[in-house]
Structure 1
């Protein structure tokens, strides 16, 4: 090396010395500590990024089952809410008449000893109620949700919006539907026959022979009970006593000893039962007596009993 330098001319040596000086300056200009810190920062950034990606994979792994669980619980909750129906029941005590408004704002009057069962929230496609006894309906119009009145004998009445009366006492041999306004459709218990009524018509279903009889009727005679009136038009004594028994909450035993048939045309408003019986006795040989209520072994009382004899 020494020999090579000795053999070189002064100009070559100068150029070598300048190049070496420049290399030394460049090396001195490098910030070793800064480069070290920058390298450490990059390492930490890469490490945090790796940990974040790993955590996100774990989070996704945990979130999917949680999401599925939430969806299942939500479906079970809301699905059960939609399908589970809650029912309410309203009853008119014997000897009383009540007026009641249903959830769809339809109005119903219940006659003495009648019961109406209905869902607290009607379905989106229908409005179903169950009737035992007698009721007068003013149904709020809704073409998308027909209104059904179902009776214990299986007879059903469906409408969209109208005024009508259904008499379906379980101890009667018939079910009577009377239309005041609009249209109603009456479906037989076997579902094979549907009869449509016009205002002023009634349909009588005989529970014994299962026959349907359609005809004209005095509508107000059939629905005046909701206004506290008893109206009879060519009514036989047997029918009159049946209605009086329900209206006054008594038992009436009618003995037709003579075998004669009498028909009456009358309207009663605030008369008492004795006053009505006295009125009926003016045109027929009627005698009647009262048996008071008796306390039974279970501390309940029997109904007052009226025994009517026709001679």
Structure 2
């Protein structure tokens, strides 16, 4: 090999040595340990994201049946609580007065021709009953569960514990509520207006005019029927005969041949129907008679019909 070739080969070796030296310097400047740590951290983070994502998916999968079961149980509880409510009815036939106790130990008297519908157990926030006719209530005190009496006309009363009377016969023009003791709230139909009664007060609601009148009253007179008494104070003959019809289980046909609207004041205890009618006929021109029992015009089977004429 001549001198020129040797110089060329030596020059190539020197350039390779310089390149290797540069690579060594670059490698020495590189933070291999730090890069390794960062790589490890990224791997851990990636692994955590993967695990977390899987856990969230698993949680969602597990929570879905739980959510569905909760919704189903809530629905079943609501519907069953509504469907499971069972009601009872108590009736007082014409000519009778019935006394009984409600599930909360409240006591109710039903006047003749009345009925009360109530749940066999008071499980809700309210104790609610529905009355047709007349009832006297001795409500067991419970501040957490008010006691409601609903009538067909839409008028309701509610108390927390007290004694009161409600008269709501279908054939009566007015609904009356009188309070003996405690405090009573009256909810009027349609308007939602409320009135508060104190002992010795009553409300009369006219179903035709939708007007209510609040006044004082003799509660003993309003509730005398519980003791088998009939007390009339400034009563019309229509009112008297309706009460007699229920008390004695008769169908009274009353014909007024005058334009008078006489008012009557009387108290009856153990008198029979003929005795009462004879008494009334002494103060006015009034005649009465029983229609034959077998007559086809008898309103209800088992009822006698009484024909009364006022002249």
Say whether the fold is shared (TM-score over 0.5): yes
Is 1:246 the counterpart of 2:246 in the alignment?
yes
Task: Give the RMSD, CA atoms, in angstroms.
Answer: 2.6
For residues 260 and 75 of structure 2, the distance between their equivalents in structure 1, rounded to whole angstroms, comes to 67
SS of structure 1 residue aligned to 2:241 = helix
The residue number in structure 1 matching 2:234 is 234
Say if 1:294 and 1:302, in contact at 8 Å, map to a contact too: no
For residues 283 and 171 of structure 2, the distance between their equivalents in structure 1, rounded to whole angstroms, comes to 29
For residues 69 and 184 of structure 1, the distance between their equivalents in structure 2, rounded to whole angstroms, comes to 45
SS of structure 1 residue aligned to 2:278 = helix
SS of structure 2 residue aligned to 1:125 = coil
Q: Superposed, which structure 2 residues align to 1:255-270 within 5 Å?
A: 255-270=255-270
The residue number in structure 1 matching 2:81 is 82
Say if 1:295 and 1:301, in contact at 8 Å, map to a contact too: no
Q: Superposed, which structure 2 residues align to 1:113-132 within 5 Å?
A: 113-132=113-132
Say if 1:293 and 1:301, in contact at 8 Å, map to a contact too: no
Deviation at 1:72, TM superposition (A): 8.3
Gaps of 5+ in 2: 1-62
The residue number in structure 1 matching 2:149 is 149
Answer with 96-105 or 301-310: which moved more. Answer: 301-310
Answer with 186-195 or 106-115: which moved more. Answer: 186-195
The residue number in structure 1 matching 2:310 is 310
Question: Per-residue displacement from partner, 1:150-179 (whole Å, max 9, x unpaired)?
Answer: 111111111111111111111222111111
Deviation at 1:303, TM superposition (A): 3.0
The residue number in structure 1 matching 2:173 is 173
For residues 242 and 213 of structure 1, the distance between their equivalents in structure 2, rounded to whole angstroms, comes to 22
Q: Superposed, which structure 2 residues align to 1:1-311 within 5 Å?
A: 80-84=79-83, 85-294=85-294, 301=301, 303-311=303-311
For residues 68 and 214 of structure 2, the distance between their equivalents in structure 1, rounded to whole angstroms, comes to 58
The residue number in structure 1 matching 2:60 is none
Deviation at 1:266, TM superposition (A): 1.8
For residues 117 and 295 of structure 2, the distance between their equivalents in structure 1, rounded to whole angstroms, comes to 32
Q: Which runs of 4+ in 1 moved over 4 A?
A: 64-81
Say if 1:89 and 1:115, in contact at 8 Å, map to a contact too: yes
For residues 190 and 225 of structure 2, the distance between their equivalents in structure 1, rounded to whole angstroms, comes to 31
TM-score (ref. length: structure 2) = 0.72
Deviation at 1:261, TM superposition (A): 3.6
SS of structure 2 residue aligned to 1:122 = coil
Deviation at 1:295, TM superposition (A): 6.5
The residue number in structure 1 matching 2:3 is none
Say if 1:295 and 1:302, in contact at 8 Å, map to a contact too: no
For residues 247 and 161 of structure 1, the distance between their equivalents in structure 2, rounded to whole angstroms, comes to 29
For residues 261 and 295 of structure 1, the distance between their equivalents in structure 2, rounded to whole angstroms, comes to 31
Question: Per-residue displacement from partner, 1:2-61 (whole Å, max 9, x unpaired)?
Answer: xxxxxxxxxxxxxxxxxxxxxxxxxxxxxxxxxxxxxxxxxxxxxxxxxxxxxxxxxxxx
1:249–1:96 CA distance, 2 compared to 1 (3 A): same
TM-score (ref. length: structure 1) = 0.72
Deviation at 1:199, TM superposition (A): 1.0
Q: How many residues align?
A: 247
